Every structure is written in C-alpha cells, then in structure tokens.
Amino acid sequence: MFAEHKPSWILTGTVVACIMALYVPGVQRTVPGGDSGELITTACELGVAHPPGYPIFTLLAHLGMKLLPLSPAHSVNLVNSLLGAAACGFLCLTVCRLVGPGPGAVLAGGVFAMSKLSWQWSMVAEVFTLNNLFVGLLFFLTVSFHCAETPRQRWRTAQWGALCCGLGLCNQHTLVLYVLAIIPWVIYRLHSLTVSP
C-alpha cells in the first residue's frame, strides 16, 4: 500500500512536520485553564476523568509523560500538539487519496492546522485534538473504502473503520454525528457490491 501511494505519504509527512514546527514552540509549558488540569492529573495517576472518562487520551498522555523528559503538564500539552498535527495529516492524506498529492492536500491540512480552534486546542491538554484525529482517520478510511478495488480491501478497510469508530466514541461522543452517516453508507456499499453482478 505504501509503495503505490508513496508521493501522498511523503507529502503528508512533510505537511505534518511543518505543522509540528509551528505548533511545538507555542505549546503551553504549565497547566492551562479549563479541563486541562484534570486531564493532566488523570494522566499522571492513570485515573478516570469526568465522563466519558477519556481512556485513550489518558493512556496516550501517560505514555507521553513516560517518554518525554519534561514536566507532566508540558509533556501532555506536547502530546496533544502531536495529535493535532496528526489530525491535519490525515486530512491531507484524505485529499491526496481523493485527487492525488498536490496543493489542494497541502492547503486542506494547513488551513485546518491554522484555524483558530484547531490551533488553540493543540497548544493545551484537551481531548478535542484526539477527536479531530479520529474524524480525520474516519475520513481517510471512508475514502479508502470508496477507492478500494477488491472486496477484500473493502472488508479490511471497513474493519479498520469499525475499530476507529469504537475507539473514537470512547473519546468524544460527538463522533456519533459522523458515525451515523458513515456506517449506513458502508453497509449499503458492502451489500450492493456483494450482490451486484
């Protein structure tokens, strides 16, 4: 899969690296306001935050604290900026898959990265960037499903999409708005492509 889409992966990697170069210097080094303090504390203790608990965010943040030789707050904030850049990368990769690598893909990832809320939530410990990552991943998997050439590729992509939906719903319930649109379409396409001659 990598070889046939190598230019798309290279372009996406470049976009993510550029976004990280912009995000990392602006990351908060201390505990910001809002839910960030609770999320950082939860990651330190491997506890449970306010509902829905954010288990994936907590585990990723805890891993970041173990791997990065920084203060807990700075580490979790930095992990969040990595998640934000990855979300932009999946948006870029989705456009690459749809229309090929080019300026449109760079623009999609870059404009999303620079939007006020994406930038704001990528600087502090919040769950919104992980939600953006799951949405970007769902977009990429949906386009990959649409572009799949064989039933085996469609089924494999649908299975990855199901995993992504489950993990994403553990993080933020608003993902259900995307899931309610994508799942019926995927089921319809799987059924119609299976029974068509």
6-28 pLDDT tens trace: 888 999 999 999 999 999 999 98
- Note whether residue 1 is domain-resident: no
- Note whether residue 43 is domain-resident: yes
Give, rounded to a whole angstrom, the gap between the first and last alpha carbons of the chain: 27
CA atoms lying within 13 Å on the CB side of residue 196: 7
Confidence of residue 149 (pLDDT cuts 50, 70, 90): confident
Q: Rounded to the nearest 5°, which phi and psi values hold at 46?
A: 50, 45
| Mean pLDDT score of the chain | 89
For 49, the domain range is 6-195
Instruction: Kindly state the average pLDDT of the residues 83-100.
Output: 93
- Note whether residue 155 is domain-resident: yes
> Which pLDDT belongs to residue 195?
54
- Note whether residue 180 is domain-resident: yes
- Note whether residue 89 is domain-resident: yes
> Which pLDDT belongs to residue 197?
46
For the chain, how many structural domains are there in total?
1
Q: Which tokens belong to 85? A: 């850049």
Q: Tokens 């990769």 map to which residue?
A: 93
Q: Which of 84, 74, 90 is nearest to 29 (CA)?
A: 74
Instruction: Kindly state the average pLDDT of the residues 143-149.
Output: 90
- Note whether residue 107 is domain-resident: yes
Q: What is the pLDDT of residues 94-132, one digit of tens each?
A: 999 998 888 999 999 999 999 999 999 999 988 899 999
Q: Rounded to the nearest 5°, which phi and psi values hold at 170?
A: -70, -25
- Note whether residue 115 is domain-resident: yes
Is the pLDDT score of 3 beyond 70?
A: no
Q: At what angle do helices 6-23 and 103-114 cross, to 10 degrees?
A: 30
